[in-house]
A = this chain, B = another copy of it.
């Protein structure tokens, strides 16, 4: 089918070795034959067969990325920055959606390893589980992003780039408290994932710290979908003693909660406060203006990719990269501070 170096060698009446040198611009060949070979290769529209190269070099120049769902508005930025950084360094990206399902995540992992990707960037929905064992055992280069395994025996053997989820959760609730809320509901999903666990932990810490009463009924875990979040919030709003504010641990879900609040006839922020997490692209749109916690997903992607490729290329095992990015509170209109002011320290 395709044109091979053999064809070129024949056309140029040289050996395949010469062609290889010429194509890869490596010394050991006269300038004349080199240019001749390159000319012929171009004429024949030669495209090197990466599969054959991989077989020798043990490199595929491809990295694998496992995320929950590219349709979740948090991930496109991450995927984009990974692809871009990878491309700059000559790598392509295979993308897998796990849907937060353990079997799909595992399937993707094995699939990628079999495809000889050179490394994997993983946003695992599971803070525990054997995912890492497989990777570590094979000596496979990988970097965790967005989420990390916790309490894992091999915990020190991993590189990761995350944000300070604990601080983010803390600041969200602290902010709600300061503008006057005492009854704060927390809505979360994917509670097997470290980022969600940490956000909840931070939020609860702030509650304790400020002496707020922690009604256990105010903490709801639902499946990951806007609709589920909406239903959860509706339930809370229908309580005898409903919360006056929501900390929703994900902007996309927060949009569902927002629908629930508005459809109940309550106003945001006058009647009910709302804080999300992630600062997705859409959060700033006029009329939505969601107060949220910034999640520099593009920076995360760039850093993770660079760390990964460095690991791949200097296979010398160096120090582990454990990066935690700042979590910044972004105050917009769904939290009411501009109405009430900061009434409490």
- Mark A residues whose CB is within 8 Å of B: 1-2, 45, 47-52, 54-55, 58, 60-62, 69-71, 73, 75-77, 79-80, 83-84, 87, 92-97, 110-116, 134, 137-139, 255, 258-259, 262-263, 281-282, 285-288
Contacts and interface: CB of A to CB of B under 8 A. Distances in A.
A50 B95 contact: no
B80 A116 contact: no
A76 B80 contact: no
Given A62-B115, A92-B96, A95-B83, A51 B55 contact: yes
Contacts of A54: 51
Contacts of A281: 71, 73
Contacts of A55: 49, 51-52, 55
Contact of A1 (B48, B62, B139): B139
A239 to B, nearest CB: 22
Nearest to A77: B71
Given A92-B115, A116-B51, A139-B1, A70 B70 contact: yes
Given A51-B54, A286-B259, A71 B80 contact: yes
A93 B87 CA distance: 15
A31 B285 CA distance: 64
Contacts of A70: 70, 76, 79-80, 83
B288 A1 contact: no
A113 B263 CA distance: 51
Copies, count: 2
A226 to B, nearest CB: 9
Contacts of A71: 76-77, 80, 281
B285 A58 contact: no
A50 B111 CA distance: 10
A52 to B, nearest CB: 6
> Which 6 pairs across A and B sit closest by C-beta, in order of nearness?
A287-B287, A51-B54, A70-B76, A47-B114, A71-B76, A71-B80
17 contacts: A47-B110, A47-B113, A47-B114, A49-B55, A51-B55, A52-B55, A55-B55, A62-B94, A75-B76, A83-B95, A94-B95, A259-B286, A262-B286, A282-B282, A282-B285, A285-B288, A287-B288
A61 to B, nearest CB: 8
A273 to B, nearest CB: 17
Contacts of A76: 70-71, 73, 75-76
Nearest to A83: B97
Contacts of A60: 51
B80 A2 contact: no
Given A47-B114, A51-B116, 18 more contacts: A1-B58, A45-B137, A47-B110, A47-B138, A49-B55, A50-B115, A50-B116, A70-B80, A75-B76, A83-B95, A83-B96, A83-B97, A92-B96, A92-B112, A94-B95, A259-B285, A259-B286, A282-B282
